[in-house]
Amino acid sequence: MKRLALLLALLVTTGAALAADVRVGPQGPGFYRLRMGADEVTALLDGTHPFLADELLTHIDRTKVDSLLKADYLASPVQGSINAFLVKTPDRLVLIDTGAGPLYAGDGGFLPTALLAAGYRPEDVTDVLLTHLHRDHVGGLIRNGTMLFPNAIVHINKADADFWLNAANESKVPKILLPMFSGAMDSLAPYQKAGHVVTFAGETDVLPGFHAIPAPGHTPGHTWYLITSGHEHLLAWGDTVHVATVQLADPNASIRYDYDEEQAAVSRKRALEDAVAKGYWIAAAHVSFPGLGHIRRTGAGYQWVPVNYTRTP
């Protein structure tokens, strides 16, 4: 009888210990380096943010969204990465997009810590290339209202500058996109005041080795940057894909953040075809960190092939 009581007591204590939650801490600063030709590409994680895949994806059946997510052991909302990419060439330090900074509350704003952890200071950045002017790409430009990258020239497609820096266009977008205007204006203002913003139009070399390719749809001036070093190419495709599990399986699926959903799908399919045909490295803003990988064709759709982790690139 005494032995049974002891056994019961033991079971109760073990059960209580199992029921208590272990405190799971956060990750360390997110940076990941890749050698590409003569360049070093460093993915920088600004944060992760819940993407309401089932509510926001369009041109696709909601049950298909759920089943594709389930097959990847995911469910909506999916934690989406907010990635930016730092490219060190022999003579420049170029940042592609800047993350959300303070504009996504506690979900973003970790890029400066990741940058320092990777061994760089904000003042080392010579150029910022923006794929478009949405809040989670421009927000990281400023800290406390001043330039975080005081020595950088910010390069923007003129079509995006004309659209998002003009409040008269607010009537042309759905409610979900309204905060993008103030986000773009506030984040760029100190750079405009300092004369640090330049715009470009059409397909052009923004810097040696950095080729801008207009890919409209997600925004009017959404732009890819094809970076070439030696025989290698990396396509920084911005917001071509938001939820990779779904949109690679079905590239017709767009998202309510796309200004023109049909045109965004056309650009998306062009990027995927080019990536497969030419074997480009892809640098993706919202594919799971580090957002570096390749694209493989599979049946009617595509698959993401993540970079193979290398400790000493």
List of residues contacting Zn ion (CB under 5 A): 134, 239
**How near is the Cβ of 251 to Zn ion at its closest, in Å?**
17
> Which C-beta is closer to Zn ion: that of 118 or that of 177?
177
Instruction: CB nearer to Zn ion: give 82 or 295.
Output: 82
In the bound complex, what is the minimum distance in angstroms from residue 226's beta carbon to Zn ion?
A: 19
* Smallest separation (angstroms) from Zn ion to the CB of 173: 12
Residues with Cβ within 8 Å of 80's Cβ and at least 6 positions away in sequence, in order, are 48, 49, 50, 51, 242, 243, 286
* Amino acid making up residue 169: N
Q: Closer CB to Zn ion, residue 239 or residue 250? A: 239
Spell out a b/e string for 193-208, using b for 16 or more CB atoms within 10 Å of the CB, else e.
eeebbeebeeeeebbe
Q: Record the tokens describing residue 243, joined without a space.
A: 């939820």
- Smallest distance from Zn ion to CB 132, Å: 6
CB-nearer residue toward Zn ion: 134 or 196: 134
CB of 82 to Zn ion, least distance (A): 10
Residue with CB nearest Zn ion? Answer: 134
- CB of residue 222 vs Zn ion: minimum separation in angstroms? 8
Q: From the CB of 278, what's the least distance to Zn ion, in Å?
A: 24
Of 127 and 239, nearer to Zn ion (C-beta) is 239
SS (H, E, C) the chain: CHHHHHHHHHHHHHHHHHHCCCCCCCCCCCEEEEEECCEEEEEEEEEEEEECHHHHEECCCHHHHHHHHHHCCCCCCEEEEEEEEEEECCCCEEEECCCCHHHHHHHCCCHHHHHHHCCCCHHHCCEEECCCCCHHHHHHHEECCEECCCCCEEEEEHHHHHHHCCHHHHHHCCHHHCHHHHHHHHHHHHHHHCCCEEEECCCEEEECCEEEEECCCCCCCCEEEEEEECCEEEEEEECCCCCHHHHHHCCCCEECCCCCHHHHHHHHHHHHHHHHHHCCEEEECCCCCCCEEEEEEECCEEEEEECCCCCCC
Q: Which residue has the tokens 């599979």?
A: 298
Residue (80 or 293) nearer to Zn ion, CB = 80
Least distance (Å) from Zn ion to the CB of residue 59? 17
Q: How far is the CB of 239 from Zn ion (least distance, A)?
A: 4
Which residue, 245 or 254, has its beta carbon nearer to Zn ion? 254
Considering the complex, state which of residue 120 and residue 225 has its C-beta at the smaller distance from Zn ion. 225
Which of 88, 137 has the CB closer to Zn ion?
137
Decide: residue 97, CB within 10 A, 0-12 exposed, 13-18 middle, 19+ buried: buried
